Amino acid sequence: MQNIEHLLKIDKDSVWHPYSAMTSDLPVYHVDSADGVRIKLSDGRELIDGMSSWWSVIHGYNQPEINHALENQMKSMAHVMFGGLTHTPAIELTEKLLSITPEQLDAVFYSDSGSVSVDVAMKMAIQYWHAKGEAQRQRFISLRHGYHGDTFGAMSVCDPETGMHNLFSEAMPKQLFIEQPQCRFGEECSEDDIAPLKKALVEHGEHIAALIMEPIVQGAGGMWFYSADYLKQVRELCNQHNVLLIFDEIATGFARTGKMFACEHANVAPDIMCVGKALTGGYLSLAATLTTKEIHETIDNAEPGVFMHGPTFMANPLACAAALTSIRLLLQSDWQENINRIEQGLAQGLLPCRKLSQVNDVRVLGAIGVVELVEPVDMKDIVPQFVDAGVWIRPFGKLIYIMPPYIINDDDLSFLTNTIVKIISNM
């Protein structure tokens, strides 16, 4: 086996990491293995994972039942094209997804990643209106500070100014953006909060295919938790103006906010919903776009008579087997009590941050803890501090946040929050 120094040199010279420069001097840590909530580095250090590998590894690493499901699936087939063929893992996963998502959703389209599932949702909305004889409906309304992915369609509905994709603005479709609601989770929605959407729908409704939003929690765009009452009023306005509603539950789905899906906080359902990230328990990339009978029948019954999308690895059997097992594990657990336990631990553990002058806000919802600083973090300085302290936390901008695996115990959770408090205190 090649030594670690040689491998890291190849990585430094030739591997382009996400949101980084090839010439970046940010440290990259070589992982030897991962088990439970711990990531073991090749230098022998072990880190408690506060990120769930970008919010996906909800059951922890090296999960025995998911391992077993993948081993069994590999014995029959690792992959088969989904065009004209089908297989049991995809069928059973579809049945399970439809049983736990809002009742109105009755069809599932699979793709390879969350970003692609958003592109699929947008194409679905446009093709629906084309089939209805309203082809002028090509634009989307999105919330400022939202994030929906890195593919071109998804980029176009991310925040155009404070988001990560503004340099592509001239190449992307021009969407309509409204201010994010300032009403916090647990508060009522004011007229000022909902007024921008009302105005946009009155002025542009006939050209809007759909409103797309992350329900309750705006994730990578700012980790903002907003009122469930706002979501209720959004659903009512979309109904009034005959505009489709797309929920991006890629980050919030599968219990992260304390409900199986975040839209349940408001007891509302979308016309189209995207899921991903935790879908497979973090084992393989898989996403899904769910929609209603009205939408898929309308598309089916108009030219060209098919939905115009088809990923090569759509509904990969290995990924579907992992997803089915992950969902079963979640449903078999007392997940509501467990997420409540994590929420209480985060709230208590991060409480001292509220008194620090470096901190602007502290927010906790479900298994999400956020400390918003006054000034942006220095990644070159703070990430090594976290690693040296024995935790894996990767902040961005002014935000230090954690979304730990659901299996984390109280001691490890306390260690994570205490480390955050200590490091921020010394900034």
Q: Catalytic site residue 277?
A: yes
Query: Of the listed 49, 193, 229, 248, which one is catalytic?
Result: 248
Q: DSSP state, 354?
A: G
Q: Catalytic site residue 32?
A: no
- CB-count exposure of residue 312 (10 Å: 0-12, 13-18, 19+): exposed
Are 69 and 281 a contacting pair, CB within 8 Å? no
Query: Of the listed 61, 147, 283, 406, which one is catalytic?
Result: 147
Kindly report whether the peptide bond that precedes residue 304 is cis, defined as omega within 30 degrees of 0. yes
Of 271, 320, 308, the C-alpha closest to 292 is 271
Dihedral through CA 409, CA 388, CA 251, CA 288, nearest 10?
A: -100
Q: Catalytic site residue 43?
A: no
Phi, psi at 3, each rounded to 5°: -70, 160
Q: Give residue for tokens 């109105």.
A: 104
Q: Quick one: tokens of 127?
A: 């093709």
Query: Of the listed 112, 119, 277, 401, which one is catalytic?
Result: 277
Of 335, 59, 149, the C-alpha closest to 49 is 59
- CA distances to 14, 109, 380 from 24, rounded to whole Å, are 12, 38, 10
Q: Catalytic site residue 150?
A: no
Residues 6 or more apart whose CB falls under 8 angstroms from that of 402 comprise 50, 51, 346, 368, 369, 393, 416, 417, 420
Alpha helices by DSSP H, 182-267:
191-204, 228-240
- CA distances to 119, 195, 209 from 243, rounded to whole Å, are 18, 16, 6
**Residues taking part in catalysis:** 19, 147, 248, 277
